[in-house]
């Protein structure tokens, strides 16, 4: 998946597990940028009575680099505090929750937002902000959609923030892809063939927890400017999100809880979707999660010689002969994932951040939102989408599959002719969860527990 | 005191606690954590360890190494650790 359970250690710590990061010029407020970091993967909506929530012991951060050195020039930090209103009940809610301030919600969660500029003291923008309850069902959380509006909080500086449960917006055919790279629409061509089928969205009906913040472009750009010229180096920012835990914790035998100690240490990181998931070898994934993007040079070899590009011709015999014969390092993938595309490759576009090899989402702030967005983003002729940042609508699985399959090699090596399949390959999925919103926080209303239907029994 | 200096001090302090003979007093699985009074000994522990002071007023240090925990009653060590954390 994008980054759900993508590394051995973090797969055991879902509360701190980054799943997706988005960064895009807000379509309804094009003078602003929306940054979204999702955590806690694969939430089954009926997973009570202790429903999903952010970790009070986790430091959640969204980082922005605007100087080209892949170090954080600006960080937004989010810290959560959970309380129990009635200690004599096992209930998450003691009656219908009609608003985020209702006392019937027995386990409310609050958070603070702190802004940290490189070399400056942290500045807390707000605290005591309320997280909405999860979507339990029509009796406990009736008319759930209104909680979204209630939980969008204004912040100083013409910013706004939301933190809480959302419908998973990322779609992928989990069941097939992890079954030896099967793509259902093409499985007749697989090494172990079966009849072609339609893709199944493995995240259908599941939720995540999102932290979304919308800020003026000038809040993020170098020199506090509002970029207007796409080809200026200062128009591009790098974005990634992390989760950190304190270095150690001690189990309290008296109350059964844990007490954390020590400085925060990063346990999860995410920039480009699927980077740690399908680029970094398993033995190095945990280490990658603990490092900064500035350290990614050590992983460049896995980008320029990706394992998946070797697997595709093996799993789909005869389908990718040109890809199989291509022996050069994948400069196209290095540009897309580690440096950004320099000017001169796509007319009027660049999102290059210089020579430092680093996995970050790279967003050119001077590119306006598309009036008719294409879910394939840049390779679909829409520079407003991935890999120019990432919008919630972007079909990053298809984009990255096609890129790895060779569709983007001609960007840097015109002598290469992609295989026909490179521009057709897809897992065949689309968003089948609640529709995306037209306004902040853009991800759809989370699925409700009562409304959830059981999965498919084993056969 | 810098963080680096504190770390060095804590490592030294931890080594001092380990030298109290924790290796010789490992409880069997399921047994209560033993409490000992610090004395100079020659036991050596090469593994990393964690020293935990829950209540400095009691003068106890929990020393955890591998799967073992030993509570060392050593008000002097607790005072040094407390001082180092400031």
The strand order across the sheet containing A18-25 reads A18-25, A32-43, A207-216, A159-167, A153-155
Q: What are the backbone angles phi and psi of residue A343, rounded to the nearest 5°?
A: -65, 150
Whole-number Å distance between alpha carbons of A297 and A366: 28
Which residues of chain A lie closer than 8 angstroms to B69, CB-CB? none
Count of positions (residues) in chain A: 459
Minimal Cα distance from A248: which residue of B? B50
CB A340 within 8 A of CB A356: no
CB A286 within 8 A of CB A268: no
- Amino acid A455: pLDDT: 85
Closest by alpha carbon to A153, among A241, A219, A212, A220? A212
Residue A296: how many other CB atoms lie within 10 Å: 24
Minimal Cα distance from B3: which residue of A? A263
- Amino acid A3: pLDDT: 87
Per DSSP, the three-state class of A159 is: strand
Q: How far is B69 from chain A (nearest CA, A)?
A: 12
Q: Which of A249, A250, A253 to mutate to test the interface with B (most CBs of B within 10 A)?
A: A250
DSSP strands (E only) in A26-156? 32-43, 58-65, 74-82, 109-117, 123-130, 153-155
Considering chain A, what is the average pLDDT of its residues? 97
Whole-number Å distance between alpha carbons of A188 and A197: 9
| pLDDT average, residue stretch A61-89 | 98
A248 interfacial to chain B (CB closer than 8 Å): yes
Using 50, 70 and 90 to split pLDDT, how confident is the model at B44? low
- Amino acid A457: pLDDT: 87
A96-120 burial by CB neighbour count: b if 16+ within 10 A, else e? ebeebeeebbbbbbbbebbbbeeee
Residue where the block lists tokens 């490189």: A118
Closest by alpha carbon to B56, among B34, B40, B79? B79
Whole-number Å distance between alpha carbons of A448 and A147: 13
Q: How far is B21 from chain A (nearest CA, A)?
A: 22
Is the pLDDT at B24 greater than 70? The verdict is no
Which residues of chain A lie closer than 8 angstroms to B54, CB-CB? 250
Minimal Cα distance from B49: which residue of A? A248
- Amino acid A337: pLDDT: 98
- Amino acid B20: pLDDT: 35
DSSP strands (E only) in A224-366? 236-251, 258-270, 361-364
CB A268 within 8 A of CB A290: no
Express each pLDDT in A93-123 by its tens digit.
Answer: 999 999 999 999 999 999 999 999 999 999 9
pLDDT over 70 for what percent of chain A?
100
| pLDDT average, residue stretch A78-82 | 98
Is the pLDDT at B86 greater than 60? The verdict is yes
Q: Is the peptide bond before B76 cis (omega within 30 degrees of 0)?
A: no
Express each pLDDT in A286-335 by its tens digit.
Answer: 999 999 999 999 999 999 999 999 999 999 999 999 999 999 999 999 99
Contacts 24+ apart (CB under 8 A), A283-290: A285/A6, A285/A7, A285/A8, A285/A9, A286/A7, A286/A8, A286/A9, A286/A10, A288/A7, A289/A7, A289/A9, A289/A10, A290/A265, A290/A266
Is the pLDDT at A84 greater than 60? The verdict is yes
Express each pLDDT in A252-290 by its tens digit.
Answer: 988 999 999 999 999 999 999 999 999 999 999 999 999
- Amino acid B32: pLDDT: 63
**What phi-psi label fits residue A79: left (phi over 0), alpha (psi between -120 and 50 degrees) or beta?**
beta
| pLDDT average, residue stretch A40-56 | 96
- Amino acid A1: pLDDT: 64
Minimal Cα distance from B7: which residue of A? A262
Query: In degrees to the nearest 10, what's the CA dihedral of B44, B48, B50, B51?
Result: 30
- Amino acid A2: pLDDT: 74
Q: Which of A356-365, A415-424, B14-23 has the lowest mean pLDDT?
A: B14-23
Is the pLDDT at A409 greater than 60? The verdict is yes
Express each pLDDT in A138-177 by its tens digit.
Answer: 999 999 999 999 999 999 999 999 999 999 999 999 999 9
A250 interfacial to chain B (CB closer than 8 Å): yes
Whole-number Å distance between alpha carbons of A117 and A123: 9
Whole-number Å distance between alpha carbons of A22 and A210: 10
Report how many Cβ contacts below 8 Å link chain A to chain B: 3
Is the pLDDT at B43 greater than 80? The verdict is no
Q: Is the peptide bond before A387 cis (omega within 30 degrees of 0)?
A: yes
Q: Which of B6, B10, B30, B52 to mutate to test the interface with A (most CBs of A within 10 A)?
A: B52
- Amino acid A233: pLDDT: 95
- Amino acid B46: pLDDT: 78
- Amino acid A276: pLDDT: 94
| pLDDT average, residue stretch B2-14 | 40
Q: How far is B58 from chain A (nearest CA, A)?
A: 17
Closest by alpha carbon to A209, among A396, A60, A8, A83? A60
Using 50, 70 and 90 to split pLDDT, how confident is the model at B10? very low
Percentages helix, strand, coil for chain A (3-state, rounded to 5) are 25, 25, 50
Q: Which of B4, B51, B54 to mutate to test the interface with A (most CBs of A within 10 A)?
A: B54
Count of positions (residues) in chain B: 86
Per DSSP, the three-state class of B35 is: strand
Residue where the block lists tokens 């060590």: B77
The contact set of B with A (CB < 8 A) is 50, 52, 54
Express each pLDDT in A449-458 by its tens digit.
Answer: 999 998 888 7
């Amino acid at each position: 998946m994008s980054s759900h359970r993508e590394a051995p250690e973090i797969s055991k710590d879902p509360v701190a597990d980054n799943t997706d990061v988005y960064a895009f010029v807000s379509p309804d407020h094009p003078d602003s940028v929306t940054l979204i970091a999702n955590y806690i993967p694969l939430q089954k909506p009926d997973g009570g009575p202790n429903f999903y929530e952010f970790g009070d012991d986790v430091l959640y951060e969204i980082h922005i680099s605007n100087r080209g050195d892949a170090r954080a020039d600006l960080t937004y930090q989010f810290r959560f505090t959970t309380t129990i209103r009635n200690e004599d009940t096992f209930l998450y809610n003691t009656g219908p929750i009609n608003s985020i301030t209702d006392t019937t919600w027995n386990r409310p969660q609050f958070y603070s937002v702190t802004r940290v500029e490189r070399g400056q003291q942290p500045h807390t923008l707000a605290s005591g902000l309320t997280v909405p309850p999860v979507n339990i069902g029509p009796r406990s959380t009736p008319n759930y959609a209104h909680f979204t509006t209630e939980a969008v909080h204004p912040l100083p500086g013409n910013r706004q923030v939301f933190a809480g449960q959302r419908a998973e917006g990322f779609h992928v055919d989990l069941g097939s892809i992890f079954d030896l790279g099967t793509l259902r629409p093409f499985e007749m061509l697989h090494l172990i063939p079966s009849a072609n089928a339609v893709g199944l969205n493995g995240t259908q009906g599941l939720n995540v927890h999102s932290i979304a913040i919308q800020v003026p472009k000038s809040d993020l750009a170098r020199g506090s400017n509002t970029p207007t010229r796409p080809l200026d180096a200062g128009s591009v920012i790098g974005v990634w999100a992390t989760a950190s835990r304190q270095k150690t914790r001690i189990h309290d035998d008296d109350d059964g809880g844990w007490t954390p100690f020590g400085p925060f240490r990063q346990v999860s990181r995410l920039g480009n979707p699927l980077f740690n998931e399908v680029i970094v070898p398993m033995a190095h994934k945990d280490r990658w999660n603990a490092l900064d993007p500035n350290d990614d040079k050590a992983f460049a070899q896995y980008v320029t010689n990706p394992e998946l590009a070797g697997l595709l011709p093996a799993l789909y015999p005869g389908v990718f002969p040109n890809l199989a014969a291509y022996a050069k390092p994948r400069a196209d993938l290095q540009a897309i994932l580690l440096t950004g595309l320099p000017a001169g490759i796509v007319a009027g576009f660049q999102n290059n951040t210089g020579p430092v090899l680093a996995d970050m989402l790279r967003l050119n702030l001077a590119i306006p939102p598309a009036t008719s967005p294409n879910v394939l983003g840049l390779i679909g002729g829409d520079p407003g989408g991935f890999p120019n940042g990432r919008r919630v609508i972007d079909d990053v699985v298809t984009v990255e599959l096609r890129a790895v399959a060779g569709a983007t090699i001609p960007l840097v090596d015109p002598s290469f002719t992609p295989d026909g399949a490179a521009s057709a390959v897809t897992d065949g999925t689309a968003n089948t969860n609640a529709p995306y919103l037209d306004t902040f926080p853009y991800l759809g209303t989370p699925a409700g527990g009562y409304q959830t239907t059981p999965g498919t029994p084993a056969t | 005191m810098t963080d680096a200096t504190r770390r060095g001090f804590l490592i030294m302090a931890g080594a001092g606690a380990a030298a109290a003979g924790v290796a010789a007093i490992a409880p069997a699985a399921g047994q209560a954590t033993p409490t000992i009074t610090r004395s100079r000994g020659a036991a050596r522990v090469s593994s990393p360890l964690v020293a935990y002071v829950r209540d400095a007023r009691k003068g106890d240090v929990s020393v955890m190494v591998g799967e073992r925990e030993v509570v060392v009653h050593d008000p002097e060590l607790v005072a040094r650790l407390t001082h180092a954390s400031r």
